[in-house]
């Protein structure tokens, strides 16, 4: 059996506890009468005498998690194989167990944050709300924007509020302490699979103090699968230990300075946001016909995601692509207004997207990805947002082409 079937960097592998365990096991006879049912188990195994158990780790997984925590500067870190979603839910649970009842949620929040609050009975307040018990930020956001973390963390410390950061897009930022979620947050998620070389769904959730770590462990125990994938766990450890790619970072920064009007840089070098304007979906289609797949298009911007594992060849393709499609870009691209929070309850109904203009949204919905609401509950639906929903390929919060809105009878106005 090939000792390195995934063609991983052998220098990094030497330091990876979980892959080493899998490689050792793969060299031995292994007749599988255990799960998973494909019975090909050598890499994709289950909890066996030698492979430890993520729910109560004592061996290789415990050591891997401790080393990850040391790299991320956490009191404790937990490997997740169910995406940042389970990390967001777990940290909201830990916050609630610490006495948090209301939370100021950035309006860039992923739907898992809204769902978590709903599930845990946490009151959602608009971002910047002074009355909230805790603050929940997304950093970086889908476009690579990083909020003023030092100032927000200081304000939270001074007012005794917990700071939770959803770093689903910032797993690679632990190299840059000044903009890394873990430098500022009490609880934070690193969505390792999005910007580091881990398999899809690999993530980590961490806590700053021993007290929060205990509560977070309870949350993780509730929201994480009891059948974590060993290949994903191994890839998470590998990804966190993957080295910084300074050469690539410097080249990307040069690219940002070459196209200052067409590319927006929000602080995170891995998100190359190409501001196109009206023809963005058209450009996305042409790119795909050419075999080039961006992370997402929001109807105005085509956003390319890089990682420290992006190859020189891939980067050359990006440079050529930007040059080729520059003539399609408008001079000024107005941002789509952020979704707005309003208090509203009442009877709801589903209406065709085209007929929803002027109605009040009753269920958060938006483009997928990035899976951040374009419309929030209580928000008046505008023509611009309808156009975006109608043009996008993939949506969430929509049922059979219909949006959930409040009924318009007077009681509900
Ligand atoms: C900001 C943010 N948070 C959380 C998530 C959920 O991550 P996952 O898909 O890994 O569960 C996403 C996914 O797109 C996201 O963009």
Token couple for 230: 């060993």
Which numbered atom of ligand 1 lies nearest the CA of 194?
A: 10
The strand order across the sheet containing 123-126 reads: 76-80, 203-207, 187-190, 162-167, 134-138, 102-105, 123-126
The counts of H helices and E strands in the chain are 14, 15
User: Atom 9 of ligand 1 has which residue's CA nearest to it?
Assistant: 83
Where is average pLDDT lowest: 147-156, 223-232, 388-397?
A: 388-397
Whether 141 lines ligand 1, by a CB cut-off of 6 Å, is no
Pocket test for ligand 1, best of 86, 111, 112, 198 (most atoms within 8 A of CB): 112
Where is average pLDDT lowest: 4-13, 85-94, 166-175?
A: 4-13
Residue 405's pLDDT band, with cuts at 50, 70 and 90, is: very high
**Cα 189 to averaged position of ligand 1 atoms, centre (Å):** 10
Residue 355's pLDDT band, with cuts at 50, 70 and 90, is: very high
Instruction: Report the alpha-carbon distance of residue 202 to residue 400 in Å, rounded.
Output: 31
Which numbered atom of ligand 1 lies nearest the CA of 193?
A: 10
**Contact criterion met (CB below 8 Å) for 189 and 88:** yes
Query: In sequence order, what E strands does 56-193 have?
Result: 76-80, 102-105, 123-126, 134-138, 162-167, 187-190
The whole-number pLDDT of residue 413 equals: 45
What DSSP string runs through 16-78? -HHHHHHHHHHTS-----SSSTT---SSS--S-TTT--TTS--SHHHHHHHHHHHHHT-SEEE
**Contact criterion met (CB below 8 Å) for 205 and 236:** no
pLDDT: which is higher, 351 or 346: 351
Residues with Cβ within 8 Å of 113's Cβ and at least 6 positions away in sequence, in order, are 88, 92, 105, 136, 138, 166
Where is average pLDDT lowest: 150-159, 232-241, 386-395?
A: 386-395
Which alpha helices (H) appear in 143-279, and where do they start and end?
Answer: 149-159, 181-184, 192-195, 210-223, 230-240, 246-258
Whether 371 lines ligand 1, by a CB cut-off of 6 Å, is yes
The whole-number pLDDT of residue 338 equals: 76
What is the share, in percent, of the chain residues with pLDDT greater than 70? Answer: 96
pLDDT tens column, 58-70: 999 999 999 999 9
The mean per-residue pLDDT over the stretch 142-148 comes to: 95
Which numbered atom of ligand 1 lies nearest the CA of 191?
A: 10
Pocket test for ligand 1, best of 79, 83, 143, 396 (most atoms within 8 A of CB): 83
Instruction: Report the alpha-carbon distance of residue 59 to residue 396 in Å, rounded.
Output: 40
Q: Is 272 helix (H, G, I), strand (E, B) or coil?
A: strand
Pocket test for ligand 1, best of 79, 81, 85 (most atoms within 8 A of CB): 85
Beta-strand relationship, 162-167 and 203-207: unpaired
Residue 1's pLDDT band, with cuts at 50, 70 and 90, is: very low
The whole-number pLDDT of residue 311 equals: 95
> Does the structure show a pLDDT above 70 at 320?
yes
Instruction: Report the alpha-carbon distance of residue 126 to residue 107 in Å, rounded.
Output: 7
Residues with Cβ within 8 Å of 123's Cβ and at least 6 positions away in sequence, in order, are 101, 102, 103, 117
**Cα 168 to averaged position of ligand 1 atoms, centre (Å):** 5
What angle do the packed helices 60-72 and 230-240 form, to 10 degrees?
30
With b for 16 or more beta-carbon neighbours within 10 A and e for fewer, the 364-379 pattern comes to: bbbbbbbbbbbbbbbb
User: Atom 10 of ligand 1 has which residue's CA nearest to it?
Assistant: 83
With b for 16 or more beta-carbon neighbours within 10 A and e for fewer, the 63-100 pattern comes to: bbbebbbeebebebbbbbbbbbbbbbbbbbbbbbbbeb
Domains for the chain: give ranges and CATH numbers.
Answer: 10-240 (3.40.640.10), 246-328 (3.90.1150.10), 348-412 (3.90.105.10)
Residue 127's pLDDT band, with cuts at 50, 70 and 90, is: confident
What DSSP string runs through 346-376? S-EEEEEGGG-TTSBB-S-BEETTT---SB-
**Contact criterion met (CB below 8 Å) for 277 and 329:** yes
pLDDT tens column, 49-106: 999 999 999 999 999 999 999 999 999 999 999 999 999 999 999 999 999 999 999 8
> Does the structure show a pLDDT above 60 at 255?
yes
Tokens 């205990």 belong to which residue?
214
Residue 410's pLDDT band, with cuts at 50, 70 and 90, is: very low
**Contact criterion met (CB below 8 Å) for 199 and 232:** yes
Whether 83 lines ligand 1, by a CB cut-off of 6 Å, is yes
Residue 372's pLDDT band, with cuts at 50, 70 and 90, is: confident
Which numbered atom of ligand 1 lies nearest the CA of 138?
A: 1
Whether 167 lines ligand 1, by a CB cut-off of 6 Å, is no
Instruction: Report the alpha-carbon distance of residue 104 to residue 127 in Å, rounded.
Output: 5
């Amino acid at each position: 059996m090939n000792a390195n079937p995934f063609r991983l960097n052998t220098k990094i592998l030497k330091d990876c506890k979980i892959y080493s365990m899998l490689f050792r096991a793969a060299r031995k006879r292994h007749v599988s009468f255990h799960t998973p049912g494909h019975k090909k188990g050598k890499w994709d195994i289950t909890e066996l005498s030698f492979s430890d158990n993520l729910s109560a780790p004592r061996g290789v997984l415990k050591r891997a998690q401790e080393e990850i925590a040391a790299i991320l500067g956490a009191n404790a870190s937990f490997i997740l194989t169910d995406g940042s979603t389970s990390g967001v839910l777990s940290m909201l649970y830990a916050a609630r167990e610490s006495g948090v009842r209301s939370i100021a949620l950035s309006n860039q929040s992923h739907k898992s944050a809204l769902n978590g609050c709903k599930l845990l009975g946490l009151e959602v307040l608009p971002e910047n709300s002074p009355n909230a018990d805790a603050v929940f930020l997304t950093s970086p956001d889908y476009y690579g924007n990083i909020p003023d973390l030092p100032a927000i963390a200081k304000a939270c410390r001074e007012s005794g509020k917990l700071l939770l950061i959803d770093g689903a897009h910032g797993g690679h930022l632990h190299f840059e302490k000044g903009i890394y979620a873990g430098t500022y947050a009490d609880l934070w998620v690193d969505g390792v699979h999005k910007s580091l070389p881990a398999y899809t769904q690999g993530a980590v959730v961490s806590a700053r103090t021993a007290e929060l770590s205990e509560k977070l462990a309870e949350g993780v125990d509730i929201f994480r699968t009891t059948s974590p994938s060993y290949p994903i766990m191994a890839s998470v450890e590998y990804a966190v230990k993957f080295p910084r790619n300074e050469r690539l970072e410097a080249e990307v920064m040069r690219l940002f300075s070459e196209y200052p009007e067409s590319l927006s840089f929000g602080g995170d070098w891995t998100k190359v946001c190409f501001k196109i304007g009206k023809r963005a979906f058209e450009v996305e289609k042409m790119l795909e016909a050419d075999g080039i797949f961006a992370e997402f298009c929001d109807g105005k911007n085509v956003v390319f995601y890089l990682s420290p594992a992006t190859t020189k060849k891939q980067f050359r393709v990006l440079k050529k692509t930007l040059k080729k499609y520059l003539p399609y870009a408008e001079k000024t691209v107005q941002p789509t207004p952020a979704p707005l929070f309003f208090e509203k309850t009442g009877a709801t109904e589903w209406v065709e997207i085209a007929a929803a203009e002027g109605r009040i949204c009753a269920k958060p919905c938006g483009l997928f990805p990035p899976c951040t609401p374009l419309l929030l509950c209580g928000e008046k639906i505008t023509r611009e947002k309808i156009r975006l929903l109608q043009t996008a390929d993939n949506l969430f919060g929509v049922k059979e082409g219909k949006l959930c809105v409040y009924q318009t009878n007077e009681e509900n106005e």
